[in-house]
Amino acid sequence: MVQREGQPHINRKLFDFIEVLRDASIIISADEVIALFNAVPEIDVSDKEIFRQSLKTTLVKDYTDIPVFNRCFDQFFSGREKFFDGMDISSLSSLRDGIPAEVIEDMNDMLDKFLDSLDPAFLMEKNEDEIMRMFLEELPEGSSGGGGGMNIFRSRSGTAGSFQSKGEDGEAAEVDIEAMMDLLRNMMNLRLSKRKIGKELKNREDFLLNKFIYQLTPDEIREMRELVNRFGQKLKSRISLRKKRVKRGGIDTKRTFRTNLQYGGVPFKLFYKNKKIDRPQLVVMCDVSRSVNQYSRFMLLLTYSLQSLFSKVRTFAFISNMVEITDLFREMDPERAINSMFTDVNFTYGWGSNYGRCFDQFIENYSDALTRKTSVLVLGDARNNDNDPGIQSFRKIQERSRNLFWLNPDKRHLWDWNDSIASLYGSCCNEMKEVNNFLDLSEFIDKLFLDI
């Protein structure tokens, strides 16, 4: 690893930054770290654009992580000048002038050492003041190691007074202890908040992904749009990697011939055609009545970001009428399609959801959508308003498809409660699953591909 005089601060910061990225769940291996430290001496670090790109190009290997990287970078390196002279203060720069540089260096080092000795989880729990107090308490009595002048902390209770600090020429300098404490507190706070950047980003994401979908506020939904996109992309590449060729098919004549030419055309080596797994076909039926339409919205968004994984996706929406909305999505982006769906199409006939009627309609009008390869997803709370459940039609759907899944946003203990007939439908499905949040939805999609 390359270490250069005058660069310990940079290295230190880079390690901190790598930790932040890791906290934000970007995977960074030793190879990447080494590449970064090899790269840094080659570039002009005072050019922010070049610096940023050098970090990005060496550390981030998955382009879906780039937005996360950018956010972390902006927060972490806000104010380049603070970074490059090893100082963490700009608002207090006037103060800084009054304090010898070595003292600040010392303080920096001690803060770093102190924070490194603490458990990261502990840092997340405590607030800045508590950690500051701990720092002051742990300071060794009269620690004057390093450049000299750290004896200020002997008066750690913060009583006003003055102290001695030896400058380079041995001259005593007087510094206001209150100001010194201020400076120290600022340095500490900045450091702490920087360390938390990645964690906080990740926590926010986890929070959104795990939140009950019907509790999401409009602002959060907007925030999640990007998240859903990124998540979908990740899921997509993971699945496409996994379903690469598995089963062996017949002999690949072309390749066998060509390879065996070297044996005079005698087929010594055989090559087989690799049977590609068929991409599944998907039929999605979403209940869009008030009680579940938030779920349907996310389900539809997710299926459409994953569209290329399926050979065919047909989408239906219903309340008491089954309506195909596949074309709607073909014409506009999913976001707008969903919005227009709620205004355009007439789903209702009579009052409230009527699952039975809708399944009957489906069998009657759209049973061509069902083949041996089709997976059928139904999203709804199975609250049939005491209508005819249409169980015959539902069984037919099951018989004619490869598998049939039901995603139920209701809590499990509410199934069969009141007008819900969840277990009646559930008995005909391969599985009825409770989904509460976005993570459940995507997990389900992921699993769908495992079963094939």
Partner 1 sequence: MFKNVEEAIKELEKQRYIASKDIATTVYLALKLEKPVLVEGPAGVGKTELAKCIASALNIELIRMQCYEGLDEAKALYEWEYAKQLLYTQILKDKLSEVMGSESTLSGAVNKLSSAEDVFFSEKFLIPRPILKSITKNERTVLLIDEIDKSDSEFEAFLLEVLSDFQVTIPEIGTFKTDVKPFVILTSNSAREMSDALKRRCLHLYIDYPTIELEEKIVSLKVPESGERLIRQVVEAVHRIRQLQLKKEPSISETLDWAKALVLLGYEDLDPAIAVETLNFILKYEKDIELALKHSKDIFLN
Interacting residue ranges for partner 1, rule: CB under 8 A:
27, 29, 31-32, 35, 38-39, 42-44, 47, 49-50, 53-54, 56-58, 60-63, 66, 237-238, 240-241, 244-245, 255, 259, 261-262, 330-333, 336
> What distance in Å separates the CA atoms of residue 175 and residue 152, rounded to the nearest whole number?
9
Minimum distance from residue 157 beta carbon to partner 1 (Å): 50
Minimum distance from residue 10 beta carbon to partner 1 (Å): 16
Nearer to partner 1, 21 or 432 (CB): 21
Pairing of strands 374-379, 403-408: parallel
Which conformational region is residue 416 in: left (phi greater than 0), alpha (psi within -120 to 50 degrees), or beta?
left
Nearer to partner 1, 66 or 172 (CB): 66
Q: Are 309 and 240 in contact (CB under 8 A)?
A: yes
Minimum distance from residue 332 beta carbon to partner 1 (Å): 7
Three-class secondary structure of residue 397 per DSSP:
helix
Angle at the Cα of 118 (from 113 to 119), degrees rounded to 5?
145
Minimum distance from residue 19 beta carbon to partner 1 (Å): 19
Nearer to partner 1, 172 or 332 (CB): 332
Minimum distance from residue 279 beta carbon to partner 1 (Å): 13
Nearer to partner 1, 32 or 443 (CB): 32
> What distance in Å separates the CA atoms of residue 197 and residue 124, rounded to the nearest whole number?
11
Q: Which residues contact 411 (CB under 8 A, 6 or more apart)?
A: 434, 436
- Number of Cβ within a 10 Å radius of residue 444: 17
Task: Give one DSSP letter per residue of 81-128, joined into a string.
Answer: HHHHTT---STTHHHHHTS-HHHHHHHHHHHHHHHHHS-HHHHHHS-H
Minimum distance from residue 231 beta carbon to partner 1 (Å): 14
Nearer to partner 1, 172 or 251 (CB): 251
Looking at the chain, how many residues does it have?
A: 452
Nearer to partner 1, 29 or 365 (CB): 29
